Structure 1
Amino acid sequence: MIDYRLVITAMFAGGALLELAWGRFLFREQTTAKDLALDLGAGLGLPILVLPVIMTSSAAATEAIAPGSANALAGWPAWAMFVTLLIADDLTQYWWHRASHTWPRLNLLHRAHHSAEYLSIRVVYRNNLLYYAMMPGLWLSGVLLHLGFAPVYYVYYIAKMAVIISAHSSVGWDTKLVKIRWLAPLMWVVARTISTPCTHAAHHGKHAADGVTHYHGNYGNFLLVWDVVFGTAKINTERPREFGLEQVEPATWVQELLWPFSRRAQPAALKPAKPEGEP
């Protein structure tokens, strides 16, 4: 059986090579030393440190609460497991992501994901490590893995990561497909079902007034249908010209990656900057 981790690693590598081939991976003009620290620190910290701790801890906690519960739900049909994962993992992540754009303290944990002035697979995991450590969907996934969801979970996780990686890619697969007339009906459905490069690029746009950026919306990670259902979707066929944070005071990579654990990370430094002309 192929290790799902190898499949996901291969997807990241393939995506990176594609961006390199198109000259959209290095972003030398936009990349700073801070960006490199965040891309590498978060990119390695999640799979190497945070995920193993969550999966081990959630399984141990479940067994402690319900002794003998290992594989207790292994007899469920695959479709039921998949639907349960969509709700327990992806729907809860939609609300977690949405909350991180509306709750000031939680926004500090998500700021790193938007501070890059480029959109690339480099930023897929770029978040404060506590953002992931507190994510309900990851803990619930660990519980479900313990209960016997493993075979379906790995298929689900590969599919979800394929969508997330492509949605963050600087080489959008949907930009040309939406212009093909006979594909229009299919692309209409796709754009409202899963997160696509255009809809997610709008979420990362820098300027709210550009007509494309939709920072407070398009929160879905795997499925965009959650945004459609809860009224936060904006379907785009264009990408913003610029990415990043608008009118926000600068912060160090330590503040964005490790707040509130580092003494050097002061929340006051992360407050939105005042608009020009305001005293």
Structure 2
Amino acid sequence: MIKFIEAIFQNFSTWGLPVLVLLLGVVEFSLGLYKRKWNKNERILDIVCFTIPKLVVRPLVAYFGLKFLPVLLPGFKAAFEWVPFWWGFFIICIADDLTQYWYHRLHHEVPFLWRFHRTHHSAPYMGMAMASRQNIIYTIFFSQTYLTTALVYIGLGYPALFVKSIKSIITTLAHSSIPWDKPFYEKKWLNPIAWVLERLISTPATHHAHHADSNDDGIGHYKGNFGNMFFVWDVIFGTGLITRKYPESYGIQHYQEEEWYAQFMWPIFKSRKEGSELSHNGPMVHEDPTTPVAAATATISEPISAKTSLELT
């Protein structure tokens, strides 16, 4: 049984995740959950963002990382093999996801960084297609890209494999347009589980709120809900909002459907759309149309508030 579980996680880190994304994507399309918003430009962007990091970025980082680390840390190869699996699993879960929480949050707080993360939020839909949608620079500096390679080198590759697989499942399902968490809210006997679940990990309801194009309805919360695998960071740092509801619309209100290559490779390639955040000499951030004019001097189109109280439901 243990060998079978190991095989699942080993395969998940290679071809398992693409298969899961493909199967769920087929279900989403069959149910019409993209609402005809997946045009040619969006399709190319989503496919490129899904394939290039897996086929180019991560293999290159792993190859050169394992060549460079013995020179940088000659005495640390397999140095932590003695660490028990569950201790390694716990430590990596915390270190990896907490780092990603702040990496993600800073890209909403710092105007200069916003345009590197904007690609992920430009999609006017939620689903498997856009789950990996990121600017290439954001991906290259993504902490997990290097952490996994370093952990393999120091002897913690086995627990890192399990963390990566579980995290991929949680974050993929949180982006899905299939509201798998809804039964936990609707069935009273499941409510206690829902209360724990939605505060522990990212769910469609909490993460969809982060991708909403407005905060006006009391459901959208692109100013918070930054957690990737664990939502508990939003609870701890006061950036969480739990409503158990789903936004009516997603994306960026001032989205100009910039060319896929500009969204994927800005600032190497820039958009030809005049006034776009990704165009030559374009604004660093757009004024948020949902805020008063006085807020125009706010840092980043108001994609974050420093603290937001958690609505306990």
8 Å contact from structure 2 (residues 112, 284) kept in 1: no
Higher mean C-alpha displacement, 10-19 vs 196-205 = 10-19
8 Å contact from structure 1 (residues 22, 171) kept in 2: no
8 Å contact from structure 1 (residues 195, 222) kept in 2: yes
Q: Name which of 265, 269, 272 aligns with 2:282.
A: 269
8 Å contact from structure 2 (residues 117, 134) kept in 1: yes
8 Å contact from structure 2 (residues 135, 265) kept in 1: yes
Kindly indicate whether residue 107 of structure 2 is the aligned counterpart of residue 100 of structure 1. yes
Distance 1:263-1:185 versus aligned 2 partners, 3 A rule: closer
Distance 1:15-1:156 versus aligned 2 partners, 3 A rule: same
8 Å contact from structure 1 (residues 218, 232) kept in 2: yes
What is aligned with 2:28? 19
| C-alpha distance in 2 between matches for 1:7 and 1:106 | 32
CA displacement, residues 207-232 of structure 1 (integer Å, 9 cap, x when unaligned): 22121000011111100011111111
Q: Name which of 232, 247, 253 aligns with 2:239.
A: 232
Q: Show the 5 A alignment for 1:77-96.
A: 77-96=84-103
Q: Name which of 210, 213, 220 aligns with 1:213.
A: 220
One-letter identity of the residue aligned with 1:269: G
| C-alpha distance in 2 between matches for 1:121 and 1:10 | 11
What is aligned with 2:309? none
| C-alpha distance in 2 between matches for 1:270 and 1:153 | 40
One-letter identity of the residue aligned with 1:223: F
Q: Name which of 46, 52, 62 aligns with 2:59.
A: 52
| C-alpha distance in 2 between matches for 1:270 and 1:8 | 37
Structure 2: where are the runs of 5+ without partners?
1-6, 272-277, 297-313
What is aligned with 1:6? 15
Could you tell me how far 1:250 is from its partner in structure 2? 5.5
Distance 1:262-1:193 versus aligned 2 partners, 3 A rule: same
Q: CA RMSD in A?
A: 2.2
Could you tell me how far 1:67 is from its partner in structure 2? 1.6
Distance 1:18-1:263 versus aligned 2 partners, 3 A rule: closer
CA displacement, residues 179-208 of structure 1 (integer Å, 9 cap, x when unaligned): 111111111000000000000000000122
CA displacement, residues 56-94 of structure 1 (integer Å, 9 cap, x when unaligned): 333333211122533221121112211221233211110
CA displacement, residues 122-150 of structure 1 (integer Å, 9 cap, x when unaligned): 11110001101011232122211211222
| C-alpha distance in 2 between matches for 1:180 and 1:112 | 36
Could you tell me how far 1:156 is from its partner in structure 2? 1.3
8 Å contact from structure 2 (residues 119, 263) kept in 1: yes
Structure 1: where are the runs of 5+ without partners?
none
- Output the TM-score relative to the length of structure 2: 0.82
| C-alpha distance in 2 between matches for 1:250 and 1:20 | 21
Could you tell me how far 1:107 is from its partner in structure 2? 0.9
Q: Name which of 55, 69, 74 aligns with 1:67.
A: 74
One-letter identity of the residue aligned with 2:152: L
Aligned length: 277
Q: Name which of 4, 14, 38 aligns with 1:31.
A: 38
| C-alpha distance in 2 between matches for 1:263 and 1:15 | 33
| C-alpha distance in 2 between matches for 1:185 and 1:72 | 42
Q: Name which of 114, 126, 131 aligns with 1:124.
A: 131
One-letter identity of the residue aligned with 2:192: P
8 Å contact from structure 1 (residues 85, 153) kept in 2: yes
Distance 1:241-1:65 versus aligned 2 partners, 3 A rule: same
| C-alpha distance in 1 between matches for 2:232 and 2:47 | 31
